[in-house]
Structure 1
């Protein structure tokens, strides 16, 4: 499963959500150790098996939709949703099936909207109309209705793009609003039929971002979702982001809800409930970072690792402290002090808990764990993650390596020995 890296080796591709092939993660080029100095040795986990779970699930959803096996798709989505099944990175299996089922329509529209020539040739309403027709064939199936609602949300964002409100063309504004409105029309049926469904609750939260109404009860919507699926940290992180002033909240509301979430999920996450809500928010917003209760935030790290000591979690927290939290350095003096304290936590995380390297996690850390980032080359993306990780680890052990010590990560922990 692992191979220690010691010297420069030939590169090999790595899979990702948007670009997956039959590749191994432990064949990337790595920096050679400095001559006559200590050697850094760390096993690199093969991400293939883990990543294929997500990739194969998306492909399964796409295949079922293409073959008009909608009843079977619905059954699989409902079973995965009820059992709270997730891929290794925490993405719900039901979400992956739903994405696969609508991906042909959504990805084609996204391509057309980013390519002027394709836009002239592609019927942007044809694909979603076909999905609507399938939904009408199953009028009493809320999961199929949900797939269509999620497709409308995706298409709304495709029309929205990255333009500002002032520069967004009128046609794009109207199409974006129309797709969000259609999703809003469909989702109540899903909520009524499946009141305890995390995927439906998550869709309701996703819809909030498109409607931007001042009376929206954002915190309450996310609390409902987290109550349904408290073991999934992704929901807590999304709540924190949407409670920033740039979305629907305020710094005061963010702090209150982070503390409230810690209290509500204490039996599962300890102080980690506070950490997860603040996790992405403070990486995005300098003022939120400056206001953070950093001691409680780091206590949450300890509680998270106590409950989730797996290497996926260790690598994510380590990469966050080593790389993500440094984004925005120098913009706010108080935030910089908080960032430095969090950055220092990488020392203990890597020394005391890491046994293997997960390159994709480190690559995503540089983008603030932004899942919407499109990856053109899986090989380059993972190679960058490995380079970032090795640089961070080498810097951490620069004194030992300079003094000729070998730094070796083993399944039983860190081992230092004379070279």
Structure 2
């Protein structure tokens, strides 16, 4: 990784309300020096697992693929960013089929178009040959789930055409039937538990069962903070949960995982929920949440995690603008960007900051990876510069080292 001075960022969208004004780009270039990782260990590890799954599926080596997914699942192997490698392998194995359907729908394919059925029928044929293997069933079930979401789209449910609703429901139902014979706890399989939780989360009024099922998943893999984040988002009122259930499950999860995360699980369960719902932000126990952030850093001080938490505080929580009830909790949590950046950040991961600006929305369309990363780099540099505003105003140069930021001598006023 080469150390580079911050490059001049390209054009980017105007910032949401309440994002502090930082030094102009030219000041950042001249006075802020930080290592920038455009591609990280997260990308390398996740991509390698996904490519492996894709390769084995294309070679029809399904027994070998199932064995590797099972091994990754049993070992709880994960990328530095927390993505289970069993999921990455399974995604690689189904991505050809899912992408073909997504492309066909984007091109306006009708309900009888062969491109919508040929791929999934091929997977179903593979499943017939391995009908008792839980991990082959997992891949096919997840393909149905992904295709169901492709039919569902991102628009309002009330405007969804009847055909889309029918196809969406049919794929989800098929996924549920494929997974039903497999007991995730008995199999000691977080991957199967996660797939079952994802299906349950689409059902209105399923919050009580969902909390219990997510509890089983978290017990199977308590280091998987992504499951905790998903639990919180799926307990919001807009998807059939309640603020009371969200708070209860955040506290229950923190108690169950205290040995690993300290208070961190309270922050993880609340993480996406309070960013999406101002009322949830208004109700959050801010002191508990901030204690959770500190415990997460103690448990996982790597730069992937520090960038994630800093970007969340500096960017994600501010993107939805002001809200009378949530202003005070939001302000206290966003202020944590200061100690995260000053005390723990040693390098910038632009893609994490870019995702933070999208609210970590996996459905967000990225038309240019290069432009996406450039916007993340620009957002990250501005957030860092804001924390050193006084030093920059005095013309001091800030250099980030493995031991933290170092303030250099005066090089001229800004």
- Asked if 1:208 corresponds to 2:200, the answer is yes
Q: Is the 8 A contact 1:194 1:200 kept in 2?
A: no
SS at match of 2:238: coil
| Residue 223 of structure 2, aligned match among 203, 221, 231 | 231
Structure 1 pair 379/46, CA: closer, same or farther in 2 (3 Å)?
closer
Structure 1 pair 415/118, CA: closer, same or farther in 2 (3 Å)?
farther
- Asked if 1:358 corresponds to 2:349, the answer is yes
- Asked if 1:401 corresponds to 2:392, the answer is yes
Match of 1:21 in 2: none
Structure 1 pair 7/131, CA: closer, same or farther in 2 (3 Å)?
closer
Match of 1:2 in 2: 2
Q: Is the 8 A contact 2:232 2:271 kept in 1?
A: yes
| Residue 256 of structure 1, aligned match among 248, 251, 260 | 248
Structure 1 pair 259/103, CA: closer, same or farther in 2 (3 Å)?
same
Q: Is the 8 A contact 2:311 2:352 kept in 1?
A: yes
- Asked if 1:269 corresponds to 2:232, the answer is no
Q: Is the 8 A contact 1:112 1:119 kept in 2?
A: no
Post-superposition shift, 1:66? 1.2
- Asked if 1:297 corresponds to 2:289, the answer is yes
- Asked if 1:348 corresponds to 2:348, the answer is no
User: Aligned equivalents of 2:227 and 2:164: distance in 1?
Assistant: 29
Post-superposition shift, 1:312? 0.8
Q: Is the 8 A contact 2:101 2:147 kept in 1?
A: yes
User: Aligned equivalents of 1:186 and 1:34: distance in 2?
Assistant: 54
Q: Is the 8 A contact 1:94 1:199 kept in 2?
A: yes
User: Aligned equivalents of 1:167 and 1:416: distance in 2?
Assistant: 55
Structure 1 pair 6/78, CA: closer, same or farther in 2 (3 Å)?
closer
SS at match of 1:113: helix
Q: Is the 8 A contact 1:315 1:358 kept in 2?
A: yes
SS at match of 2:115: coil
Structure 1 pair 118/403, CA: closer, same or farther in 2 (3 Å)?
farther
Compute the RMSD of aligned alpha carbons: 2.1
| Residue 72 of structure 2, aligned match among 66, 80, 85 | 80
| Residue 115 of structure 1, aligned match among 82, 95, 107 | 107
Q: Is the 8 A contact 1:5 1:41 kept in 2?
A: yes
User: Aligned equivalents of 1:123 and 1:46: distance in 2?
Assistant: 35
Match of 2:301 in 1: 309
Q: Is the 8 A contact 1:142 1:194 kept in 2?
A: no
Bigger Cα displacement from structure 2, 164-173 vs 127-136: 164-173
| Residue 385 of structure 1, aligned match among 376, 384, 399 | 376
Post-superposition shift, 1:139? 2.1
SS at match of 1:287: helix
User: Aligned equivalents of 2:62 and 2:355: distance in 1?
Assistant: 33
Bigger Cα displacement from structure 2, 233-242 vs 125-134: 125-134
After superposition, the C-alpha distances for 1:326-365 in whole angstroms (9 at most, x for unaligned) are: 12222x2120111111111111111111111111111111
- Asked if 1:136 corresponds to 2:128, the answer is yes
SS at match of 1:406: strand
Structure 1 pair 62/334, CA: closer, same or farther in 2 (3 Å)?
same
Match of 1:18 in 2: none
SS at match of 1:356: coil
- Asked if 1:164 corresponds to 2:156, the answer is yes
- Asked if 1:241 corresponds to 2:212, the answer is no
User: Aligned equivalents of 1:10 and 1:368: distance in 2?
Assistant: 21
User: Aligned equivalents of 1:103 and 1:375: distance in 2?
Assistant: 17
SS at match of 2:158: coil
Q: Is the 8 A contact 2:9 2:375 kept in 1?
A: no
SS at match of 2:182: helix
User: Aligned equivalents of 2:367 and 2:162: distance in 1?
Assistant: 30
- Asked if 1:336 corresponds to 2:330, the answer is no
Match of 2:310 in 1: 318
Match of 2:19 in 1: none
User: Aligned equivalents of 2:225 and 2:248: distance in 1?
Assistant: 18
Q: Is the 8 A contact 2:188 2:220 kept in 1?
A: yes
Q: Is the 8 A contact 2:53 2:88 kept in 1?
A: yes
The TM-score normalised by the length of structure 1 is: 0.90
